[in-house]
């Protein structure tokens, strides 16, 4: 394999409970379920979808862009059911070896650590295969749940960007988080050492 891998390529990524894969038109009902939920879209850039045809048009745009853009978008499939329970993205700026991560989950699947599981997998792909040096995330300053996901993945808060974007017509404060490759590698090394220690104590 040539390194870095082309940022136009969207690989299937697997974690213990999730499969991150291309979205398909067959996924419209699953995607509509969360995109039509006002609680889910509260801290997102788009307003809630009111019909499946809106979701279909949106997915069609995503599907047409596969292979043409380094704005990578995966559906999050729950392996145990085969259903799409959310989505995530890695929007790459390869000239800076930097990318922005984003994620959304259907409400029945909140609180089970799925977002962090997906972000860890994407971060591994970004640092290891795309050779990124930085992955960042922007969240509404008051969005505690999203902040927890990033904390758990080892991201650091860099600060609050005041009235940074007009979101749904309102100037919105956004928190900037980031994770550097060196930090991710140190975390992975520590995890490996802990696993080795656990194996030793089990013997
Ligand atoms: C933000 C989001 C992705 C979190 O994903 P998740 O997989 O549920 O995250 P976690 O299970 O790690 O939970 C994160 C925190 O949220 C809180 N939380 C979880 N489920 C909750 C629920 N049903 N109600 C209120 N708080 C909840 C907990 O405090 C948890 O922190 P803890 O693990 O320290 O207890 C998910 O809530 C979501 O999709 N929200 C809508 C889309 C969105 O806002 N995306 C982020 C844009 S920046």
Q: pLDDT value at position 202?
A: 77
Average per-residue pLDDT for the chain: 96
Q: Report residue 65 CA to chain centroid gap.
A: 18
- Please check whether residue 1 lies inside any domain of the structure: no
Q: Which of 145, 164, 172 has most ligand 1 atoms within 8 Å of CB, for mutation?
A: 145
- Digitized pLDDT (tens) for each residue of the chain, 203 residues in all: 777 899 999 999 999 999 999 999 999 999 999 999 999 999 999 999 999 999 999 999 999 999 999 999 999 999 999 999 999 999 999 999 999 999 999 999 999 999 999 999 999 999 999 999 999 999 999 999 999 999 999 999 999 999 999 999 999 999 999 999 999 999 989 888 888 888 888 76
Cα(43) to centroid(ligand 1), Å? 12
Pocket of ligand 1 (CB under 6 A): 40, 43-44, 103-105, 110-116, 139, 143, 145-146, 148-149, 152
Alpha-carbon distance of 29 to 56, in angstroms, equals 9
Cα(20) to centroid(ligand 1), Å? 18
Alpha-carbon distance of 85 to 75, in angstroms, equals 8
- Please check whether residue 57 lies inside any domain of the structure: yes
DSSP annotation string for 124-164: HHHHHTS--SEEEEEEETT-HHHHHHHHHTT-EEEEEEEEE
124 Cβ contact partners less than 8 Å away, ≥ 6 residues apart: 184, 188
**Would you put residue 82 in left (φ > 0), alpha (ψ -120 to 50) or beta?**
left
Nearest CA to ligand 1 atom 41: 40
Nearest CA to ligand 1 atom 44: 43
For residues 167 and 71, the answer to whether their CB atoms sit within 8 Å is no
- Please check whether residue 6 lies inside any domain of the structure: no
As given in the structure block, the two tokens for residue 2 are: 């040539």
What pTM was computed for the model? 0.95
Contacts 24+ apart (CB under 8 A), 56-60: 56/25, 56/28, 58/31, 59/23, 59/24, 59/25, 59/27, 59/28, 59/31, 60/25
Shortest-distance atom of ligand 1 to CA 105: 39
- Please check whether residue 164 lies inside any domain of the structure: yes
Domain holding 91, by residue range, is 13-202
Q: pLDDT value at position 151?
A: 98
107: nearest Cα among 23, 36, 181: 36
The domain total for the chain is: 1
- Please check whether residue 2 lies inside any domain of the structure: no
Q: pLDDT value at position 114?
A: 98
- Please check whether residue 51 lies inside any domain of the structure: yes
Give the CATH number of the domain where residue 46 resides: 3.40.630.30
- Please check whether residue 28 lies inside any domain of the structure: yes
- What SS3 state is found at 123? helix
- Please check whether residue 95 lies inside any domain of the structure: yes
């Amino acid at each position: 394999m040539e390194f870095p891998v082309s940022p136009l390529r969207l690989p299937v990524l697997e974690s213990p409970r999730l499969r991150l894969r291309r979205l398909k038109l067959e996924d419209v009902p699953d995607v509509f379920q969360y995109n039509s939920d006002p609680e889910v879209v509260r801290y997102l850039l788009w307003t809630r979808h009111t019909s499946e045809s809106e979701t279909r048009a949106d997915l069609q745009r995503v599907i047409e862009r596969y292979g043409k853009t380094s704005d990578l978008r995966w559906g999050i499939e729950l392996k145990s059911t085969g259903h799409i329970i959310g989505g995530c993205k890695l929007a790459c700026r390869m000239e800076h070896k930097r990318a922005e991560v984003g994620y959304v989950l259907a409400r029945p699947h909140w609180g089970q650590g799925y977002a962090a599981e997906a972000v860890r997998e994407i971060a591994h792909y970004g640092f290891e295969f795309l050779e990124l040096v930085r992955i960042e995330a922007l969240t509404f300053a008051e969005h505690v749940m999203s902040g927890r996901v990033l904390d758990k993945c080892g991201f650091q808060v860099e600060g609050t960007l005041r009235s940074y974007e007009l979101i749904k017509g309102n100037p919105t404060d956004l928190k900037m988080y980031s994770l550097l490759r060196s930090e991710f590698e140190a975390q992975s090394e520590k995890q490996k050492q802990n696993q080795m220690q656990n194996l030793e104590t089990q013997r």
